[in-house]
Structures are given as C-alpha cells and as structure tokens.
Structure 1
Amino acid sequence: MGGEPPLSPPEAAINRLVLWNVDLTLVDVTLVSRDAYADAFRMVTGRPLVKLAPAMGRPDSEIIFETLAVNGVAVEDHHLPRFLDALTVSFADKHRRLAKDGRMMPGAGDALKAVSRLDGVVQSVLTGTIKGNAVHKLGAFRLDKWIDFEVGGYGEEVYPKATLLQVAQGRAKAKYGSAFTAGNTVLIGDSTRDVQAARIGGAGMIAVASGRSTAAELREAGADIVLPDLSNASEVVAAVARLTTLS
C-alpha cells in the first residue's frame, strides 16, 4: 500500500503505413458522385452540366478543371475553391444515397479489418476525393473505423498523387514519430495512376484489378503485387506484410 502504481505497458510503435485508394478499390459510388458533380457545376456556373470529365484515378481538383473546360467555361482563380465547396455541400446532401445507390467493393471490410491486426500498422487513404467526401464514402459502409483520416492525402490538395503520398508519409511521421519510406509504406489501389504514384512517391504497390485498369495493365505499370480484388483477406495481409519491413 502507498507504493507507486504499476507502469502501463508501452504502446506498440506505429511503423507500417497502409494507404488505400477509395473509389473502385474500397467502394463504388459512381452514380452519387456524378449527381453531386452536376449539382456543384450548376451551383458554380448557373448552367447545367453537359459533360463530366472522366475520373481515371485523377484528383477532384483535376476533374473540376477539365470539366469546366470541356463545358466551355473560362477557368478563373475562384472556380476551384468555389467548386470544391459546392461539391462538399452537394455530396453531404446526398450522403444517405451512398449505401443505397453504391456498393462496397468485394472483401473491402474484411481486408481492412485483417490488415488492422498487423503489428505496428496505421491505415489511411490516398485518394483523389476531397477529404469530407472520402469520410462520407467510407462512413456509409462503416469502413471509416479502420482509417486514420488525419494522415491521409486528398483531392483538394493540388499536388500530383506521388507528391501527395509523400505528404501523407510526412503527416504519419509527425503524428506517430516513425519515418515512413518505401520500405514500410504500401499503397493499395486499382489504377495505373496509383501504381505510378507508388513508384515515384516511394511505396510498395498492391494493385487490385477491381477498377478500370486490367491486371495486365497494372503489372506493366510496375505494381509489386496484383490481386483480382480484396475478397481474400489473408492474401491482402500477406501482401502487405511482404512489402513492409519493421524497423
């Protein structure tokens, strides 16, 4: 009695960073996204949207600029921030439709849960989607509980995706105190743009052929591991473990 309380065991070091692409890797909410873009376009320009620029793994900021251009709008400095704000409002208004009109990609929930059990892992997102909308997309399917959104990279940040990957690594280091490099960072995505980002930015790459890029295209782009989808959770975990080293 009267002695010092026992010391709590130290928390395990966070020294593995897994970054997930969102659209067509974890969820498919294409219909809701298109409607949100149409509403946002009308809010910003006062005109109906005629043509939406294809996503193709690109950030919202890039899609916005091209969409304005192909619809004959002379782009000015105020357009991007106004469009991003409008897209956030429009998407939030439609968030109840996400689970109804969208879908979780096969195996996504089990894969996130299984990867979370790896020693020293933190999971976040590297996505072309703006942050608030990424939270809505994953929250609609209860996938958000596995994600630390603070250390991710998002579509409102006007950087190439490879640079955004390095930004995410820096945020993870600031929060968790470990250095994140190509040796302990993995990107999981479905497009050749994701593969290019991993190769340039410095991360291992697990590509899933669940989007618009074929398995052959993903291999040719330089993915370390190509999976048909996320339906085999143990296969996903083994791939992450193979591509990361604990320091």
Structure 2
Amino acid sequence: MSTLNRLVLWNIDQTLVDVGRVTREAYAEAFQRTVGRPLVRLAPTPGRTESEIIFETLAFNDVVTTDDHLPQFVSALTEAFAARRGDLRTHGRVLAGAREAVEALSRVPGLVQSVLTGSVQPNAVLKVTELGLAAHLDLESGGYENGVYSKAALLEVARARAGERHGARYPEAATVYIADSPRDVQAARIAGSPIIAVATGSATEAELRAAGADRVLATLADTDAVVSVAAELTRL
C-alpha cells in the first residue's frame, strides 16, 4: 500500500473473537437483574446493536418495556461483563488469522485501525483487551452502541473521531469495514464505505455476497489476502 490516510474498522464478535458463551451468561445475569426472573430466550445478535438485542430480548420474553429498562439493562450488562473478565480469557478465543491480520495492517504506513461494534464501549474494550488484540487498535476512535445511532451512523462517528484524533481525513472510500453479517454489509452500504465480509459468523459466503459485500473471505487466515483486499478497496 502507498502512504495514504486509510481507516480500517473491525467488527468484534464473530469477526475478531468468539466470546459467545460469556455473552450469553452476561445477558442472562443482566436480564435477571433487570426483570427479576430468568432469561428464557436471547434475541439474535449478529450485526445488531446492544439496544436492538435488549429490546428484542425483552419482547421475546414477554416483558412490557418502560423507559427505564434500557439503561438498567445496559448497566447490568456492563457489570456482568466486567465480572467475567477472567472468563473472557478462559472461554473466549481469537478467530483464525485475526491477530495476524491486525498486526499486519498495523505495519501499513498511514493506516489506522479501530472498531465498529454493536457493543457498548466498556464491553467492547474488555473483549479485545482480554484477548490480546488492543495494542494495534485505536479504541478511542471506535464506533460503539450508545442507544441512539445505527451501525451505519456509528461508522460515520468512527470516521469523524479518527479524523480528529489523527489530524487526517478519512473519506468513505478510504474507510473499510471488516465484519461478518449481512446487517453489517447493509450498514456499510448505507454509510458509503467498502466492506470486507468474512464468513466466520452465522452467515455463509453466498449470503454475504448476496447482501452486497465488496469482497468475501472464508476466514481471516490468509493474512496477505486481508491486507491486499483492504489496499484494493481503499485505493483512492
């Protein structure tokens, strides 16, 4: 890659890491604390923001929501994740090639890496920190669930934050999102940025292509392919 201002935004869950067991346990605890009874059914999580998952989970479990439910649930979920810091290391795993891809991209001149995730910031930071991926990610520039914005809007937030922090412009075409779900593909399309979709979550390669991903990879295991595709998609 030539020296240009480029921004790579990583989805976290099922793109970089698998912490599904800890997530389910944390949601169950947060639901119990918020509602006062056990969780029966957790809403689908791929490509969704925390608030979407929470509201749908409450609906699935026949809870009539009030204005207090979301902040209470988010607070309880944050505390539940913090209490499971050790479990993230024990039961979580970095997906194949993710560490190597992040490290390889960190050596590209003019390229900044951050995250674009549906998780609230404390939980997102815990996931990548406890699994040893934070060193090459500018986590202050990330787009995180805040109860207001969609993932498409959060992509714009992340671009603006990165620009302010690094004194550079990161146009839509110079910002590539790497994620694993059709909903993430849709968010990138709305935001006008290219997306590399990896079939490491619940979606197949065919489903990701049908959703409109610019490039689809089976995994992140081929480091050279990840770097070259990121270069190709952000060539201005």
TM-score bucket of the superposed structures, by smaller chain: over 0.9
CA contact (8 A) 1:24 1:190 kept: yes
1:144 and 2:144 aligned: no
Give every structure 1 segment of 4 or more consecutive aligned residues whose post-TM-superposition deviation is greater than 6 Å. none
Cα distance per residue 1:3-49 (max 9 Å; x no partner): xxxxxxxxxx8711100000000000101000000101111111111
Matched, 1:234 2:224: yes
Q: Distance in 2 between matches of 1:235 and 1:99?
A: 28
1:104 aligns with 2:94: yes
* AA at the equivalent of 2:172: A
Unaligned 5+ segments in structure 2 are: none
1:200 paired residue number: 190
Report the TM-score, using the length of structure 1 for normalisation. Answer: 0.91
Report the 3-state secondary structure (helix = DSSP H, G, I; strand = E; otherwise coil) of the residue aligned with 2:7.
Answer: strand
Separation in 1, partners of 2:204, 2:69: 34
TM-score normalised by length of structure 2: 0.96
> Partners of 1:157 and 1:106 in 2: how far apart?
31
The count of residues paired between Structure 1 and Structure 2 equals: 234
1:140-185 Cα distance to aligned partner (Å, 9 max, x none): 2100111111111112342111111111111112222222222210
The equivalent position to 2:21 in structure 1, one of 31, 38, 51, is 31
Match of residue 166, structure 1, among 149, 156, 159: 156
- Aligned equivalents of 1:204, 1:24: Cα separation in 2: 19
The unaligned stretches of length 5 or more in structure 1 are 1-12
Native 8 Å contact 1:44 1:86 kept in 2: yes
Aligned-pair CA distance for 1:95: 1.2
What SS is found at the alignment partner of 2:29? helix
The residue type equivalent to 2:40 in the other structure is V
The alpha-carbon deviation at position 200 of structure 1 amounts to 0.8
Structure with bigger gyration radius: 1
2:137 & 2:85 partners in 1: Cα distance? 19
Residue 180 of structure 2 is aligned to residue 190 of structure 1? yes
Structure 2 CA distance for aligned equivalents of residues 185 and 51 of structure 1: 36
68, 77, 83: which one aligns with 2:67: 77
Percent identity (aligned)? 54
